[in-house]
Amino acid sequence: DTAVSQTPKYLVTQMGNDKSIKCEQNLGHDTMYWYKQDSKKFLKIMFSYNNKELIINETVPNRFSPKSPDKAHLNLHINSLELGDSAVYFCASSHSGRPQYEQYFGPGTRLTVT
Amino acid sequence: AQSVTQLGSHVSVSEGALVLLRCNYSSSVPPYLFWYVQYPNQGLQLLLKYTSAATLVKGINGFEAEFKKSETSFHLTKPSAHMSDAAEYFCAVSDGGATNKLIFGTGTLLAVQP
């Protein structure tokens, strides 16, 4: 069984379009995250939700809007896509409250904006 | 604020040789440290973690890491490299707060030569 899944795996779109990436976890975790990995493989946190409440909102353009309909799902919607949005986006999940709990990552969504 | 520095963006070893990937951290609180591995076109997989229980931590696939507070280091080692170890390796520190935000190093690409 897949622990953290993301759809789609690949996303190719044109500048100016709006797109969404979906994430689901079946681990019973209460916290979910979105990370962006750029072309140099650098990973940076974007957002985090705990029990459907936004708890991390890094310096991300407001064209990016996360939504968590329930604890097991965290979606990322991106408006007016730009070339610089091209990256691999990873979803992750963990238990909350204790920093020693590791995060489990999904397989990633490779977004290419042309 | 927490940060992680990985020395050496590329490391190449021969099959059967010792693997040593370096990670130094900076943390204003007792750190929780993680090593993740990323195989090509895949998500991140946890190798091991330090949560203050023991300074020498054993992980999957024969990897281990030693926490050295005096040197603020958490280097990853494996006695004998295998071709299947070729991947990108990331060291990360948790911010220790309620959000469990992970701060990643810039990664080290390990190449294993036959």
Spell out the residues 6+ positions from residue B65 whose beta carbon is closer than 8 angstroms to its own: B23, B33, B35, B48, B50, B56, B57, B59, B74, B75, B76, B77
Tell me which residue in A4, A50, A99 faces B32 most closely, judged by beta carbons.
A99
Of A48, A100, A106, the CB nearest to B43: A106
Distance, in angstroms, between B63 CA and closest chain A CA?
17
* Contact with chain A for residue B3, Cβ under 8 A: no
Minimal C-alpha gap between A114 and chain B (Å): 20
Task: Report, as an integer, the average pLDDT of B33-54.
Answer: 92
- Is B96's pLDDT higher than 70? no
Question: DSSP 3-state assignment of B83?
Answer: helix
pLDDT at B54 over 90: no
Query: What mean pLDDT value characterizes chain B?
Result: 93
**In chain B, pLDDT over 70 holds for what percent of residues?**
97
- 8 Å CB contact of A105 and B97: no
pLDDT along chain A (114 residues), means of 10: 91 97 95 94 93 86 93 96 97 81 93 98
What does residue A4 show for φ and ψ, rounded to 5 degrees?
A: -125, 120
Above 80 in pLDDT, residue B8?
yes
Contact B100 A105 (CB under 8 A): no
Q: How many residues does chain A have?
A: 114
- Minimal C-alpha gap between A14 and chain B (Å): 22
Q: Are A88 and A76 in contact (CB under 8 A)?
A: no
Name the phi and psi angles at A83, rounded to 5.
-55, -40
**Residue A70 corresponds to which amino acid?**
D
Any idea of the CA torsion for A34, B30, A99, A85, to the nearest 10 degrees?
0
- Whether B59 contacts chain A with CB within 8 A: no
- Tokens at residue B83, please? 């071709």
Which residues of chain A make contact with B100, given a CB cutoff of 8 A? 31, 48, 94, 96, 98-99, 101, 103
Instruction: Specify the residue for token string 């705990």.
Output: A50
Partner-chain contact A105 B36, CB within 8 Å: yes
Output the pLDDT for position B45.
95
Q: Over 70: is that where the pLDDT of B62 sits? A: yes
What pLDDT does B95 receive? 73
Q: Tell me the nearest-neighbour CA distance from A57 into chain B, angstroms.
A: 11
Residues 69-98 of A with CB under 8 A from B: 90, 92, 94, 96-98
Put simply, the answer to whether B43 touches A100 (Cβ < 8 Å) is no
Q: What is the pLDDT of residue A24?
A: 97
Report, in this order, helix, strand and coil percent for chain A, each rounded to 5: 5, 55, 40
